[in-house]
């Protein structure tokens, strides 16, 4: 095939693999389809989709233009946070604030992977960008990686979104390895406490202020997420809430996927470092799941029988919303068909959404992002 480098052929294969996962397997199709097709566009010889220098003349490509206008200035990840916030229902967390524990402990993969990356010779900022894959939150991963190590953005983006999509494949083996069937069958009584509209409105405002005081660098991340939730719960912006959940989410997801693909060129992606980062991303997700499960088991040692946690709920504390909640419900019913963990898991899951954004903000604050 004239004009092709072998690395370009590899990257076009990566593009086809991403499209296969989206179309055939249904893994995160809204994003992976755009990323896969964009990767093919970016790796065709002399493609006009990315910036090229031909005959001494630089021509800016459409994908590069999208990247510079949406990723390099962090616009698209922040807009996606508005959409995510509008989709999140924090009522189960407010009703049962104990679930906040797992929103924190299930972020342990970030720290462990950060330390592992440092041991492998990555700089402190590169290690932070790699570790944030453990946030199980694609926009946060992109935001932090863009600040700390833009040259690592392609594998970090692919790892973050791919592993989020395959949480139903990653989590069950880890949970089953760390728990017994009797532990997975623990029933947790869910008592839905009424949450007033005033509390629902004050919650996103309060979280933003507290987070901003603790980690000022997190204000943009947590602020856009909580603004999205505020327009959902305010009761006076129904059209905006629907637009954020649908039109905004759909449009920005398409643009985000295409923008990321501008960086997925053969000269940046086909190297040993890429494979290492993708493997460390998987390690981070496994550590997150293990952290949530183990923290629940440790708490059960001191808790009375009527307050014990089902360790599966701990695994739902990762930020992959709502897949982790569904996985927890399914695993609980495999152990006991009458077990109903979904609402507890949703509480832990939305707590993980807050925890992952705070983790990203803290990294930015303390590592000079």
- DSSP result, 106-171: TTHHHHHHHHHHHHTT--HHHHHHHHGGGG--HHHHHHHHHHH-GGGHHHHHHHHHHHHHTHHHHH
Domain that residue 247 falls in: 75-366
Given a contact cutoff of 8 angstroms between Cβ atoms, the answer to whether 336 and 187 are in contact is yes
> Can you say whether residue 308 is alpha, beta or left, with left for phi > 0 and alpha for psi between -120 and 50 degrees?
beta
Establish if 233 belongs to a structural domain.
yes
* pLDDT at position 1 over 60: no
Q: How far is CA 272 from the centre of its chain?
A: 24
How far is residue 277's CA from residue 283's CA, in Å, rounded to a whole number? 10
Rounded to the nearest 5°, which phi and psi values hold at 88?
-80, 135
Query: Would you say residue 10 lies in a domain?
Result: no
CA 330, CA 172: separation in Å to the nearest integer? 9
Q: How far is CA 263 from CA 21, 66, 359, in A?
A: 20, 11, 25
> Across-strand partners of 59?
52
Q: Is 312 within a domain?
A: yes
Structure tokens at 104: 């924190």
Q: How many CB atoms lie within 10 A of CB 171?
A: 28
CA 22 to chain centre: 17
- Whole-number pLDDT of residue 56: 65
pTM for this predicted structure: 0.86
pLDDT of the residue at 138: 85
Asked, for residue 44, whether it belongs to a domain, the answer is no
What span, in angstroms and rounded, lies between the C-alpha atoms of 317 and 294?
12
H or E segment to which residue 356 belongs: helix 342-366
Locate 231 and state its tokens.
């327009």
pLDDT at 240 over 80: yes
Q: How confident is the model at residue 57 (pLDDT cuts 50, 70, 90)?
A: low
Pick from 321, 78, 94, 96: nearest CA to 201 = 94
Would you say residue 330 lies in a domain?
A: yes
221: CB partners within 8 A, 6+ apart: 78, 81, 140, 143, 357, 360, 361
Q: Is the per-residue pLDDT at 250 higher than 70?
A: yes
Extract the runs of DSSP E, i.e. beta strands, from 293-362.
none
Give percent helix, percent strand, percent coil of the chain, each to the nearest 5.
Answer: 75, 0, 25
Q: What is the largest CA-CA distance in the chain?
A: 75
Which pLDDT tens digit goes with each residue over 98-142? Answer: 999 999 999 999 999 999 999 999 999 999 999 999 888 888 999
Residue 57's DSSP bridge partners are 54
| pLDDT tens digits, one per residue of 63-100 | 999 999 988 888 999 999 999 999 999 999 998 899 99
In a domain, 234, yes or no: yes
CB 344, CB 99: distance < 8 Å: yes
Q: Do 10 and 16 meet the contact criterion of CB atoms below 8 Å apart?
A: no
338 CB neighbour count, 10 Å cutoff: 8
When divided into structural domains, the chain yields a total of 1
CA distance 150 to 358: 20
For residue 58, being part of any structural domain is answered with: no
The structure tokens listed for 50 are 């990315």
pLDDT score at 253 = 92
Identify whether 52 is part of a domain: no
Mean pLDDT over 244-267 rounds to 91
**Confidence band of 199 (pLDDT split at 50, 70, 90):** very high
- The pLDDT tens digits for 299-350 are 999 999 888 999 999 999 998 888 899 999 999 999 999 999 999 999 999 9
Cα gap 12→265, rounded to integer Å: 9
Paired tokens of 161? 């979104």
DSSP state of 264: -
């Amino acid at each position: 095939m004239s004009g092709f480098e072998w690395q370009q052929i590899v990257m076009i294969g990566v593009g086809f693999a991403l499209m296969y996962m989206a179309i055939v397997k249904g893994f995160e199709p809204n994003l992976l389809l755009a990323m896969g097709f964009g990767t093919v566009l970016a790796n065709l010889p002399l493609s006009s989709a990315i910036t090229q220098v031909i005959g001494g003349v630089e021509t800016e490509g459409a994908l590069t233009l999208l990247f510079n206008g949406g990723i390099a200035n962090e616009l698209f990840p922040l807009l996606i946070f508005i959409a995510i916030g509008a989709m999140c229902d924090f009522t189960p967390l407010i009703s049962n604030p104990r679930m906040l524990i797992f929103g924190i402990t299930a972020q342990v993969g970030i720290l462990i992977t950060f330390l592992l990356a440092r041991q492998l010779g990555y700089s402190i900022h590169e290690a932070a960008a790699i570790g944030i894959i453990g946030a199980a939150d694609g926009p946060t991963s992109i935001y932090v990686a863009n600040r700390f190590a833009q040259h690592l953005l392609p594998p970090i983006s692919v790892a973050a979104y791919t592993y989020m999509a395959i949480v139903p494949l990653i989590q069950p083996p880890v949970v089953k390895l760390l728990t017994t069937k009797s532990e997975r069958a623990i029933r947790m009584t869910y008592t839905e406490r009424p949450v007033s509209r005033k509390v629902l409105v004050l919650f996103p405002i309060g979280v933003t202020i507290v987070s901003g005081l603790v980690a000022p660098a997190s204000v943009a991340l947590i602020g856009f997420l909580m603004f999205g939730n505020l327009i959902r719960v305010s009761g006076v912006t129904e059209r905006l809430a629907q637009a954020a959940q649908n039109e905004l989410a759909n449009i920005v997801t398409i643009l985000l996927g295409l923008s990321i693909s501008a960086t997925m060129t053969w000269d940046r992606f086909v190297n040993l470092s890429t494979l290492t980062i993708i493997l460390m991303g998987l390690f981070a997700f496994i550590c997150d799941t293990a952290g949530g499960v183990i923290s629940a088991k440790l708490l059960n040692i001191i808790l009375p029988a009527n307050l014990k946690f089902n360790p599966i709920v701990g695994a739902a504390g990762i930020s992959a919303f709502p897949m982790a909640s569904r996985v927890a419900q399914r695993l609980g019913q495999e152990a006991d068909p009458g077990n109903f963990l979904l609402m507890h898991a949703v509480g832990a899951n939305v707590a993980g959404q807050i925890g992952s954004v705070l983790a990203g903000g803290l990294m930015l604050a303390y590592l000079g992002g």
